[in-house]
Amino acid sequence: MGGLFISCGGAETASEHPAKRSNAETLVVGMPGDPRSLDPHRTNDQPSSRVKKQIYDTLMYQTSDLTVTGDGLAESYEVISPTEFAFTLRQGVHFHNGEELTSEDVKFTFERMRELNAPAAFLVNALERVEIIDDYNFVMHLSFPFGPFITHLAHPATAILNKTAVLAAGENYGRNPVGTGPFSFVEWRAGDSLTLSRYDDYFRGPAASERIIFRIITEDTQRAIALETGEVDLIYDVGPNDYRDLAALEEIKGFQTSGLTTFYMGFNAQKKPFDDVRVRQAINLALDVEAATQVAFRGYATTAKGPLAPTVQFANTGLPGYGHDVERAKALLAEAGYPNGFSTSIWTNDNPVRVMYAEIFQEQLRAVGITASIEIVEWAPYLDRTARGEHDMFMLGWVAVTGDADYGLYSLFHSEEFGDAGNRTFWSNDEVDRLLVEGKTNPDPAAREEAYLRAQEIIFEEAPWAFLAFRDELNATRDYVQGFEPHTAGHHILYQVYNN
């Protein structure tokens, strides 16, 4: 059958950059969270993805502004039919262990992703099988047409693994990663730092920096101080309290961009009293989210009225939001059988914005009779324990990485995605399940939009979350850092970044 043929162009190489200072070969990056694993099939959290982005490549390539291009491992692909995609790999691409990339690695990667039920396996739910034609050609067969499929092949979680390396490392692979990316793994000192070294045989040409050291600096102010003093060259997620003063310094470059992140407080819908929609709605009404957002983000976020940021395709921007109505909240609690409120807990990690929200909400909930303790849990145990459903209420954010509603909704609200896959509220709704499947499987954009708009209306009404904020992305570098372009999804590409 005939189809659409797409040729994949080349990418800019490091040789096109100006020369760097000979004593500035190391780029030091301060980021707030320690990775959970460097195995793409074991986690889908942001700190891990930011490191994996440098170690691995994907079949398709996503630029900083979310444009999907052909600069990935696939040299070209052909759309044979809505459910058949034929790919040709670039020849001569090598993994960090010296082995050449082949179709067998691609097949192994996606089969393993499904076998392990990876947290991000929903990205390739449509994939039925990978058919190998020869070492450099393969066909991906889908079980249903899926519009965002090619975009999903640029997500860090679909990075191509080396079969030999994965099988050799076994359970230890997450700390012994082998990719085809511009940097190879050197050392990981948990909670402190992670070091990568330039891979000189990278197929696009050597990276602009000889090595990258990720420094784990959890406190926002300490990260800002580290940048101001020159201890680090670049920092991610500048705290809202620090950004204005930091960006005003002559020796600092600030980057404020619109993002894809939704901040929320989730309810465990399988625990009383959160199994009652009236309780969830009452809490939404009891919270003055607009005031809390202004305090927590200092103007670097907009108040959320639903689950998707307006930058996400098919976001429902017509949702009214809950507003702040203490008397209505009390009435709903009384209807639900809690006229005097109840005692509960709010979980968060040590993210200062989330902690601030929790502290503000603790006071606001007291006004309707709800006594909420605050529990601060370290990041990795926090994700593990909320995945197991041990919490009552919890604070988190979600980045709709692909810019499509499927990524921003399916993993968080479909009943098949309970736990680590994303649905930590353990809430389900048959109609929402149906609509999310419709949005995923229907190739008609108008039909997808209709399904997603309605799904968001139900999610708003059923309130498995308290909808908090859509934050701006805040990053900063020293003035001598060249080539940094913030990635809209936060998966910053460091291949072309260097100290001049």
The 10s digit of each residue's pLDDT in 290-334 is: 999 999 999 999 999 999 999 999 999 999 999 999 999 999 999
Q: Where are the beta strands (DSSP E) in 299-438?
A: 301-303, 343-348, 371-376, 393-399
- Tell me the helix, strand and coil percentages in the chain, rounded to 5: 35, 25, 40
CA angle 274, 412, 409 (to 5 degrees): 125
Q: Is the dihedral of CA 417, 40, 114, 3 positive or negative?
A: positive
pLDDT of residue 113: 97
Mean pLDDT of the chain: 93
Q: Are 333 and 278 in contact (CB under 8 A)?
A: yes
19 pLDDT above the threshold of 50: no
Which tens digit of pLDDT belongs to each residue from 168-182?
999 999 999 999 999
pLDDT of residue 49: 95
DSSP 418: B
Single out the residue of 252, 257, 186 nearest to residue 399, CA to CA.
257
When pLDDT is cut at 50, 70 and 90, the band that residue 67 belongs to is confident
Q: Are 20 and 499 in contact (CB under 8 A)?
A: yes
Question: What Rg, from alpha-carbon coordinates, does the chain have?
Answer: 23
pLDDT of residue 55: 98
Cα(433)–Cα(124) distance, rounded to whole angstroms?
17
Which tens digit of pLDDT belongs to each residue from 101-114?
999 999 999 999 99
Q: Are 475 and 488 in contact (CB under 8 A)?
A: no
> Could you check whether the bond before residue 273 is cis, i.e. omega within 30 degrees of 0?
yes
Provide the whole-model pTM: 0.81
23 pLDDT above the threshold of 70: no
When pLDDT is cut at 50, 70 and 90, the band that residue 11 belongs to is very low
Which tens digit of pLDDT belongs to each residue from 363-381?
999 999 999 999 999 998 9
Q: Are 491 and 261 in contact (CB under 8 A)?
A: no
pLDDT of residue 1: 36
pLDDT of residue 24: 67
Tell me the average pLDDT across 341-359.
96
Cα(477)–Cα(454) distance, rounded to whole angstroms?
42
pLDDT of residue 443: 81
pLDDT of residue 371: 98
446 pLDDT above the threshold of 50: yes
Single out the residue of 393, 394, 278 nearest to residue 339, CA to CA.
278
Pairwise pLDDT comparison (385 vs 2), residue with the higher score: 385
pLDDT of residue 421: 86
Which tens digit of pLDDT belongs to each residue from 377-426?
999 899 999 999 999 999 999 999 888 999 999 999 999 999 998 999 99
Burial group, residue 423, by CB count within 10 angstroms (0-12, 13-18, 19+):
buried
pLDDT of residue 28: 97
When pLDDT is cut at 50, 70 and 90, the band that residue 275 belongs to is very high
pLDDT of residue 147: 81
Share of the chain above pLDDT 90, in %: 87
Q: Are 472 and 261 in contact (CB under 8 A)?
A: no
Residue 412 CA: distances (Å) to CA of 264, 391, 419, 459: 11, 16, 9, 11
21 pLDDT above the threshold of 50: no
Tell me the average pLDDT across 219-241.
95
pLDDT of residue 295: 95
Note the helical H segments in 189-322: 220-228, 240-247, 277-286, 289-297
Other Cβ atoms within 10 Å of 263 Cβ, number = 26
